[in-house]
Every structure is written in C-alpha cells, then in structure tokens.
Amino acid sequence: MNSSKPYILRALHEWISDNNLTPLVLVNSTHQDVQIPTGIDEDGKVVLNVSYGATKNLEIVNEGILFDARFSGVSQNLYLPMAAILAIYARENGQGMMFGSDDDMPNPEPPQPSKDKKAQVIKHKKSSAKEKVGKSFLKVVK
C-alpha cells in the first residue's frame, strides 16, 4: 500500500485552510532532496507557510510539496519531499499533526499462516457454507 502521509497532509492542509487559518509545515532541511533558499533554516529545520496566499502554484502530491514563494522579494521554487515533512499545523492555534520517522517506511508483509492454520481456515469456511444453506431469511412481500 502507498504511504498514508500525503493523503493525511492534504486533508489537514485543506482542513486548516477551510477554517481560515494559516497552514505551516515543519521540514527537515537536511534531507538530501529538499530545495529551499539557503540560509532560511535553523538547526536543520525550517517552518514554512504553505497557505494559498503565501504560495503560488502549490501542489501537494504523493512525492512531496511543490510551490513558488517570495523570499526577500525574489521568487523561488521550493520542493519539500514527503520524507522531509515532520509536521503540519495551524499558526494561530497549533492544531495539526506531527509525523513520526517510521511514516516513510513501507508496511511490512503480514505474517503468513502456517499450513495447519490454513487447513483450519479452509475447514471452517466449508462448514460455515454448509450451515448457511438452509431456510431462506427473505420473505415475499405483496
């Protein structure tokens, strides 16, 4: 399955924006694919305003957030890979969500049942099917 992080991020961005609040993202600026203007980060992190009013061409895609923004009067193209986004929250009240580092890890395969367990499941399904064949619970209504 795909990571749920981009879907949750888009939903929270929409929720924050719909409530006329300012969505901010906390970004790990040391991530190798982060594209931000130099000197705006502090201690390897940066908080960016991703509201529609502060950005141009904002796109939140499964791979990350892309947008244009002005820094010191100069328009810059920014790219924030999904793996570098640590949180999204509203500036005015702090409502939002932090993302753990394990959010970018693929989900492990579920354990496979042993042969004995498979045989029990098949036997149970067959006996359940036999029990269901019987008197119908539907009634004819005229």
Strand 85-90 versus strand 64-71 pairing type: unpaired
Residue 84 to residue 45: CA distance in whole angstroms: 9
Q: What is 5-104's CATH topology?
A: SH3 type barrels. (2.30.30)
Question: By percentage, how much of the chain surpasses pLDDT 70?
Answer: 70
pLDDT band at 100 (very low <50, low <70, confident <90, very high): confident
- Look over the chain and give the mean of its residue pLDDT values, rounded to a whole number: 83
Domain ranges in the chain are: 5-104
Do residues 26 and 85 make contact, with C-beta atoms less than 8 angstroms apart? Answer: yes
Q: Does the predicted TM-score (pTM) go above 0.75?
A: no
pLDDT tens-digit series, residues 23-50: 999 999 999 999 999 999 999 999 999 9
- For 86, left (φ over 0), alpha (ψ -120 to 50), or beta? alpha
pLDDT band at 128 (very low <50, low <70, confident <90, very high): very low
| Burial (0-12, 13-18, 19+ Cβ within 10 Å), 20 | exposed
* Mean pLDDT lowest among 35-44, 50-59, 109-118: 109-118
Structure tokens at 27: 């970004």
Sequence-distant (≥ 6) Cβ neighbours of residue 59 within 8 angstroms: 65, 66, 67
Residue 74 to residue 92: CA distance in whole angstroms: 26
> In the beta sheet, which residues pair with residue 98?
87
